[in-house]
Amino acid sequence: MAFLSSSPPLLRALAARDYVDPTPVQAAVLDPGAAERDLLVSAQTGSGKTVAYGLALASTLIGEAERFERAAEPLALVIAPTRELALQVQAELSWLYAEAGARVVSCVGGMDPRREQRQLAEGAHIVVGTPGRLRDHLERGRLDLSVLRAVVLDEADEMLDLGFREDLEFILQATPTERRTLLFSATLPRAIVTLARSFQRDTMRIEVANRDGGHADIEYRAVRVHPREISHAVVNTLRHAEAPTALVFCNTREAVRHLQSSLAERGFSVVALSGELSQSERNQALQALRDRRARVCVATDVAARGIDLPGLDLVIHADLPHDAEALQHRSGRTGRAGRKGVSVILVPASRRRRAEQMMAVAGIVPHWSGPPPANEIRRLDQDRLLGDPLFTEEAGEEDTALAGVLLGRHSPESVAVALARLYRARLPAPEEVSDPGFAQPRREPRAEPRSRMPAPSGNEPGRREPDEGGAWFRLNVGRATKADPKWLLPMLCRRGGVTKGEIGPIRIFERETKVQIRQDAAARFAKLVRGTEIAGIRIEPVGAPDPALPVTRLPRRERGRKSV
């Protein structure tokens, strides 16, 4: 399927970059039914959404004309959550609109605001920026949005997570009422939908995200590790994969510093990204990765938001992410634009249950194993040496002459040994690691009850035992709204596509209810209930309730009442 953009200069720009067929999100926004409408788009990072909204804006900004008129007040505004993402968007829109003569200006925190002020004064067709810096320019009268035709909110869910809601509302209120508003988000939680209702008109909702969780082009691996061997497991995972570029996630700045130092000592070309670095330092780190002067980046979640590293084939979660959404966001740095990628989750025994719940909620089914052993890495090194292009490339005169000198002074065996030493010397040594070997969740047979009388509980008659590997979900109904297992249970089965036997304890509190879904059914349940709200009842994944709290038992007089 070819691109359907009506803008000749943009089509030429796409052809020059060998764009042949649109990605699903690009095809969706270019559908004739989406023309000139406000769009609420759910699309994963790496799905080509920057080019998607660049193409979608063309009809509004330039129509069928060949070039823009002289730059003055901006015609389009793109708001992104981080500096890195905003600068990437600016670069992407610059080549897409280059033949149309567009002037694309960035306004981001960490850069010189006076330079941005001069660029805005010189005129711009498209402005790309972060919420805080854009608001600052607006308040100082440096940014005029009076003739704006379109606004794009890129990765809106992240902007709300980072606390930019007030800034976004301030900026949107400063724009003309008659404008297009395109809102792109990896997920569509209630806060995003509410924001869209406040600032969009005649909205067309487009969902092209993978509803099965994660990217189809990402292979997930869960690696069992001993807590004291996590850095060794990272070393061996990097050495086993030998990916051109790898991204390793830690939860804190201190952990980033420690792991970067540890990898550098072992001979890896490694850089770090964390909130404590200046913008200049972060730019230098990213450029080192793009130039292949560095092969590994150790980063926190905040520092890695929105970054796009070409050729990133491997993501390692040295620290378990805080939730399923963070897991998918981290992993989504790889497997982009049709490339294959690998996401490796290091799981200590103490975090196994949490990891399994998180992956179930995300709809991820990983391959479990221990860390790559040192002897396997040495075997791979041997295979890589034997297959090195050095042995198949045509030899030059100088190479042939030097080879003759070497063979004249040393035996062929000595020359081969020296080559093997040189090859190994440039590789970080693998670490000796062990596999904790903890088994997958196992359901123990239940003991026969001492009495034939069923134990009373908040569920169906007969107690439902907790599942060690199950995932917990929260419902926004409780005792105050007459929540009752007699109607909750069939409702959960109907909406979540599960059986009664796959539902564990149901714990009813005053304002909410928590229910556990068996491990092997949790991913299916999460997929079906995600983002839905029927009859005012919303279901969302959460952590387990306090185990000290008992399963709710309704008074005897309530058990016989008809469900509400």
Domains and CATH numbers, the chain: 8-207 (3.40.50.300), 218-375 (3.40.50.300), 471-559 (3.30.70.330)
Structure tokens given for 121: 């004064």
Give the pLDDT confidence score for residue 2 in this predicted structure: 56
pLDDT band at 246 (very low <50, low <70, confident <90, very high): very high
- Mean pLDDT over 286-308 rounds to 83
DSSP letter at 183 equals E
Q: Residue 361: what are its φ and ψ, rounded to 5°? A: -65, -35
DSSP letter at 479 equals G
Burial of 126 (0-12, 13-18, 19+ CB in 10 A): buried
Residue 330 corresponds to which amino acid? R
Give the pLDDT confidence score for residue 323 in this predicted structure: 78
Q: Using alpha carbons, select from 509, 522, 529 the residue that is nearest to residue 468.
A: 522
How far, in Å, CA of 522 to CA of 472, rounded?
9
Of 49-58, 203-212, 288-297, 346-355, give the lowest mean pLDDT range: 203-212
List, for residues 161-211, the tens digit of each pLDDT value.
Answer: 778 889 999 999 999 999 999 999 877 778 888 888 889 988 999 887 554
How far apart, in Å, are the Cα atoms of 257 and each of 250, 254, 318, 329? 10, 5, 13, 22
> How many beta carbons lie within 10 A of that of residue 500, not counting itself?
12
pLDDT band at 461 (very low <50, low <70, confident <90, very high): very low
DSSP-assigned beta bridge partners for residue 343: 220, 315
214 has pLDDT over 80: no
Of 20-29, 174-183, 344-353, give the lowest mean pLDDT range: 20-29
Are 536 and 475 in contact, with CB atoms under 8 Å apart? no
Report the Cα–Cα distance between both ends of the chain, in Å, rounded.
51
Q: Tokens 């995932």 — which residue? A: 471
Burial of 556 (0-12, 13-18, 19+ CB in 10 A): exposed
* CA atoms within a 13 Å half-sphere pointing along the CA-CB vector of 229: 21
Give the pLDDT confidence score for residue 535 in this predicted structure: 63
- Mean pLDDT over 450-459 rounds to 36
Give the pLDDT confidence score for residue 485 in this predicted structure: 82
- For 440, the 3-state DSSP assignment is coil
Q: Using alpha carbons, select from 42, 49, 322 the residue that is nearest to residue 189.
A: 42
DSSP-assigned beta bridge partners for residue 475: 513, 539
Give the pLDDT confidence score for residue 71 in this predicted structure: 92
How far, in Å, CA of 342 to CA of 242, rounded?
12
Cα Rg for the chain, rounded, in angstroms? 28
Give the pLDDT confidence score for residue 338 in this predicted structure: 63
Residue 342: in which H helix or E strand, if any? strand 341-348
* Residue 6 CB contacts under 8 Å (≥ 6 apart), including other chains: 58, 59, 63, 64
- What crossing angle do the helices spanning 113-122 and 131-139 adopt, rounded to 10°? 70
pLDDT band at 395 (very low <50, low <70, confident <90, very high): confident
Give the pLDDT confidence score for residue 437 in this predicted structure: 83
Are 274 and 300 in contact, with CB atoms under 8 Å apart? yes
Are 57 and 182 in contact, with CB atoms under 8 Å apart? yes
List, for residues 372-387, the tens digit of each pLDDT value.
Answer: 999 999 999 888 888 8
Structure tokens given for 461: 């008659």
How far, in Å, CA of 1 to CA of 61, rounded?
24
DSSP letter at 99 equals G
DSSP string of 368-427? Answer: EE-PPPHHHHHHHHHHHHHT-GGGTSPP-HHHHHHHHHHHHHS-HHHHHHHHHHHHHHTS
Residue 492: in which H helix or E strand, if any? helix 485-496
Q: Using alpha carbons, select from 562, 540, 465, 545 the residue that is nearest to residue 495.
A: 540
256 has pLDDT over 80: yes
- Mean pLDDT over 57-83 rounds to 91
Sheet holding 471-475, edge to edge: 503-508, 513-517, 471-475, 537-542, 533-534
**Range with the largest mean pLDDT of 49-58, 281-290, 397-406:** 49-58
Of 328-332, 414-418, 466-470, 492-496, give the lowest mean pLDDT range: 466-470
pTM of the model: 0.56
Residue 489 corresponds to which amino acid? L
Q: Residue 316: what are its φ and ψ, rounded to 5°? A: -120, 130
pLDDT band at 318 (very low <50, low <70, confident <90, very high): very high
- For 140, the 3-state DSSP assignment is coil
> How many beta carbons lie within 10 A of that of residue 255, not counting itself?
19
How far apart, in Å, are the Cα atoms of 47 and each of 44, 87, 174, 216, 401? 6, 18, 30, 11, 51
* Residue 179 CB contacts under 8 Å (≥ 6 apart), including other chains: 148, 149, 150, 151
Give the pLDDT confidence score for residue 187 in this predicted structure: 74
How far, in Å, CA of 50 to CA of 70, rounded?
24
How far, in Å, CA of 112 to CA of 116, rounded?
7
Pairing of strands 503-508, 513-517: antiparallel
List, for residues 355-368, the tens digit of each pLDDT value.
Answer: 988 888 778 889 99
pLDDT band at 467 (very low <50, low <70, confident <90, very high): low
74 has pLDDT over 90: yes
How far apart, in Å, are the Cα atoms of 300 and each of 179, 195, 304? 37, 28, 6
List, for residues 399-453, the tens digit of each pLDDT value.
Answer: 888 888 888 888 888 888 888 888 878 889 899 999 888 754 444 444 434 333 3
DSSP-assigned beta bridge partners for residue 218: 341
Are 47 and 192 in contact, with CB atoms under 8 Å apart? no
State the chain's mean pLDDT as an integer.
82
Structure tokens given for 167: 């800034």
